Amino acid sequence: MAETATTLPPAQRAPRLDMKTLLTRHGAWIALALLILVNLAITPNFATWQTLNVNLTQVCTIVIVGVGMTLVIATGGIDLSVGALMAIAGALAPLIFLGKLFPLPHPAVGIALAFTVPVLVTAALGWFNGWLVTRLRIQPIIATLVLFIAGRGIAQVFTNGNLQVFNLPSFQFIGLGRIAGIPFQAVLMVAIVAAAAWMLRRTVFGRQILAIGGNERAARLAGIPVTSVKQRVYLISGLLSGIAGLIVIARNSAADANLVGLGMELDAIAAVAVGGTLLTGGRATVLGTLVGALIIQLVRYTLLANGVPDAAALVAKAVIIVLAVWLQRQSHR
Amino acid sequence: MNTTSLKIFQGIGRYGVLLALLALIVFGWLRYENFLGAFNVLSVLRYNSMFALVALGMCFVIITGGIDLSVGSTAALGSVVAALLSPYGVLPGLLGGLAAGLAVGACNAFIITRLSILPFIATLATMLAASGCALLLAENQSVSVSYESGFTELGQGDLLGFPIPAWIVLLAYLAGSLILNLTSFGRTVLAIGGNEDAARLMGLPANRVKALVYLASGGLAGLAGVILAAQFGAGQPIEGVGWELFAIAAVVVGGTLLTGGVGSVGSTLAGVLLLGLIFNILNFENGLGWISLSAYWQSVIRGAFLLLVVAIQARLSMRTEEAA
């Protein structure tokens, strides 16, 4: 895949352009193109601004969380806590701008704090995940399971499980605002994807992430600061989860600690897997995660728009995940 | 470090969960009236039987070095199938739920052993598929069971003064323990988790054993679904969310390593009861009136508990490594 970042330079092999190579290397892009073509043919009103916006807003939070997940998975880890962290950010922000935590000198201060404090808190919790993984050497799946279980509980305790309703356009811009007709959250998503893709391919930090995922022992012996790189990666994942949590509550004009980010860890992992990132680490593509999320969303949209019940779309999603990962395996044999 | 203290550390690692469970029970017994009364004990056992079954399957899967994320929605599917078949009698309901679970398990086994896809991602996919099937079969709502056929006895009934679901759990764990420790199948399960390549090179049927383990996990989850339907009088397509992670937590608290190769069936049961008792004790504590902690605290406490256990385990394994 063209944008795929690997630890090794591409092997000097004779270029083979047979069908199989094409299908397995660029499968995700081909699938996305096919889906769009099929929809143009069968789904009424597909080629409209509204359809684009609907689908973009559906994938935004998944992609933003998925970018962090891609980086974590690239180091050979996993982050199950993302959904719970979204709930924490989503619970904290209204508490702050509604002045329930502490009195606010000025509403603008509340809004500024509502954007920064929740994200900093989830970033800190993400760093805590990284600390568990690196310092206590707990496996990532268990280390992040702790916050998966406790995190949502913390958010529910903060809000006593109550729904927090609000109407605050200046805060909700992050979820409802538009720039030149494009939803602000989509602009944010594209910016985050571009920044992360650049970072993974062009910066030392990005190469270190991939090196650790490729072979952690070798990376350590080569002098890469494995501990700090991993901690930063989990921190980024926590930070992006916080942003996604803010977007969700802004979109809903309400924060429900029981529901914000529920099941997000699985959606994000699915997008990463379909996008072509190796789940064992060492090979990652941020753009692929975007494409993976778009494929999953478009399949669901196609089925829904053509009268198939949502439950059947779940089954289709399962088939896509298995098929995508299986196809990728074929290309790495 | 000398060998004596190493042995003590290993002993804590092995029996720590039993000691913690015992300590929690003694704490509850001393502090609360009726904590060890028949009503409380039996209802704790009845309620946690579903989680215990799911955790047993998860224990075997984790010992092979794998993971099964599909158990929660498999249980939901099992409960829906069982509820739909319950008008035809106890046995059709029971077998239907079991068969639904086995079917999901068979899908997992096929994807993992034949398509060589990582268990994590394979069971993530079947989790979605099972959930979709459950919603389709139930038409997006809960399916009430038939009360005439006696199906609900499976969840609510007693046998010799002991809840029927608890009997099922007891038998399942007895069988699980015997299979893991006394059969060549059980030894193969442990060998695969220790080192799959080595197990293969020794000529052990790694793929067949792995397939059977996922099949068993699916079947047990289906059975948990049957009990769910019988206990609450309805097949519930959206139940089971997060069960898989609860089961993993219980297995880990029980001292089974997620890297595979080591594990104990009995400690897993202790892990389930430990996590279950936290909720129970929270209720009693609120009943005393000194403090008032909402039900939301239980997940915070469970998470903190899991953290404590894995931190201790991590310390122990570091010490063991240093000593070795």
Q: Tens digits of per-residue pLDDT, A28-75?
A: 788 888 888 888 888 777 778 888 888 888 899 999 999 999 999 999
Nearest Cα of chain B lies from the Cα of A309 at a distance, in angstroms, of 8
Q: Which residues on neighbouring strands pair with residue A182, listed in sequence order?
A: A179
Residues 262-291, chain A: which have Cβ within 8 Å of B?
262-263, 266, 269-270, 273, 279-280
- A136 interface with B at CB cutoff 8 Å: yes
**Pick from A132, A150, A326: CB nearest B117:** A326
Q: What is the pLDDT of residues A244-259, one digit of tens each?
A: 999 999 988 888 888 8
Tokens 């529920």 belong to A262
Among the ranges given (A16-20, A126-130, B41-45, B217-221), the one the predictor scored with the smallest mean pLDDT: A16-20
Nearest Cα of chain B lies from the Cα of A191 at a distance, in angstroms, of 28
Alpha carbon distances (Å) from B32 to B21, B35, B283: 16, 6, 11
User: In sequence order, which ranges of A15-139 are alpha helices (DSSP H)?
Assistant: 19-25, 27-42, 49-74, 82-97, 107-134
Neighbours of A107 (CB within 10 A): 13
Q: Which chain B residues contact residue A78 at CB under 8 A? A: 120
What is the total residue count of chain A? 333
Give the span between the Cα atoms of A200 and B81, in whole angstroms: 47
- A198 interface with B at CB cutoff 8 Å: no
Task: State whether residue A262 is helix, strand or coil.
Answer: coil
Percentage, residues of chain A above pLDDT 90: 35
Q: Which chain A residues contact residue B140 at CB under 8 A? A: 309, 311
pLDDT at residue A22, rounded to an integer: 65
On the question of pLDDT at A1 being above 70, the answer is no
Among the ranges given (A49-53, A98-102, A144-148, A227-231), the one the predictor scored with the smallest mean pLDDT: A98-102
Percentage, residues of chain B above pLDDT 70: 92
ipTM above 0.85, yes or no: no
Nearest to A167 by CA among A252, A91, A90: A252
Nearest to A233 by CA among A211, A205, A265: A205
Report, as an integer, the average pLDDT of A199-210.
92
- A124 interface with B at CB cutoff 8 Å: no
CB contact under 8 A, B259 and A156: no
Nearest Cα of chain B lies from the Cα of A118 at a distance, in angstroms, of 19
Q: Which chain B residues contact residue A156 at CB under 8 A? A: 294, 296, 299
Report, as an integer, the average pLDDT of A128-141.
90
Q: Which chain A residues contact residue B310 at CB under 8 A? A: 132, 136, 138, 142-143, 146
pLDDT at residue B1, rounded to an integer: 47
pLDDT per residue as tens, chain B (324 positions): 456 665 665 666 667 778 888 888 888 888 887 888 878 888 888 888 999 999 999 999 999 888 898 999 999 999 999 989 888 888 888 899 999 999 999 999 999 998 888 888 899 899 989 999 999 998 888 888 777 777 777 777 777 878 888 898 999 999 998 998 888 888 888 888 888 888 888 888 888 999 999 999 999 999 999 999 988 888 888 888 778 888 888 888 887 777 777 778 888 898 899 888 887 888 787 777 676 677 778 788 888 888 887 887 777 777 766 665
pLDDT tier at A177 (50, 70, 90 boundaries)?
confident
- What element of type H or E holds B95? helix B90-109
Nearest to B113 by CA among B161, B158, B61: B61
Interface test with A, best of B243, B257, B310 (most A CBs within 10 A): B310
Tokens 């790694």 belong to B206
Which residue would you say has higher pLDDT here, B148 or A192?
Answer: A192
Tokens 């201790």 belong to B312
Task: State whether residue B234 is helix, strand or coil.
Answer: strand
Q: Which domains does chain A have, with CATH numbers?
A: 48-331 (1.10.3470)
Give the span between the Cα atoms of B53 and A299, in whole angstroms: 35
Report, as an integer, the average pLDDT of A161-186.
84
Cβ-contact A67, A287 below 8 angstroms: no
CA A156 to chain centre: 23
pLDDT at residue B75, rounded to an integer: 94
| Nearest residue of chain B to residue A310 (CA atoms) | B132
Nearest Cα of chain A lies from the Cα of B186 at a distance, in angstroms, of 25
**Pick from A148, A270, A321: CB nearest B245:** A148
Q: Which chain A residues contact residue B302 at CB under 8 A? A: 149-150, 153
Q: Which chain A residues contact residue B117 at CB under 8 A? A: 322, 325-326, 329
Q: What is the pLDDT of residues B239-254, one digit of tens each?
A: 887 788 888 888 888 8
Q: What is the pLDDT of residues B80-116, one digit of tens each?
A: 999 898 888 888 888 999 999 999 999 999 999 988 8
User: In sequence order, which ranges of chain A are alpha helices (DSSP H)?
Assistant: 19-25, 27-42, 49-74, 82-97, 107-134, 140-159, 169-176, 184-202, 204-214, 216-221, 226-252, 264-275, 286-305, 310-331
Residues 18-57, chain A: which have Cβ within 8 Å of B?
none
pLDDT at residue A277, rounded to an integer: 86
* A-B C-beta contacts closer than 8 Å: 145
Which residue would you say has higher pLDDT here, A222 or A8?
Answer: A222
Cβ-contact B256, B59 below 8 angstroms: yes
pLDDT at residue A284, rounded to an integer: 87
On the question of pLDDT at A9 being above 70, the answer is no
CA A243 to chain centre: 11
CB contact under 8 A, A321 and B307: no
pLDDT at residue A2, rounded to an integer: 44
- What element of type H or E holds A6? strand A5-6
| Nearest residue of chain A to residue B237 (CA atoms) | A311
Nearest Cα of chain B lies from the Cα of A48 at a distance, in angstroms, of 29
Q: Which chain B residues contact residue A137 at CB under 8 A? A: 314, 317-318
Q: What is the pLDDT of residues A263-280, one digit of tens each?
A: 888 889 989 988 888 888
CB contact under 8 A, B121 and A321: yes
pLDDT at residue A327, rounded to an integer: 80
CB contact under 8 A, A141 and B258: yes
pLDDT at residue A126, rounded to an integer: 95
Give the span between the Cα atoms of B140 and B238, in whole angstroms: 8
Give the span between the Cα atoms of A290 and A63, in whole angstroms: 6
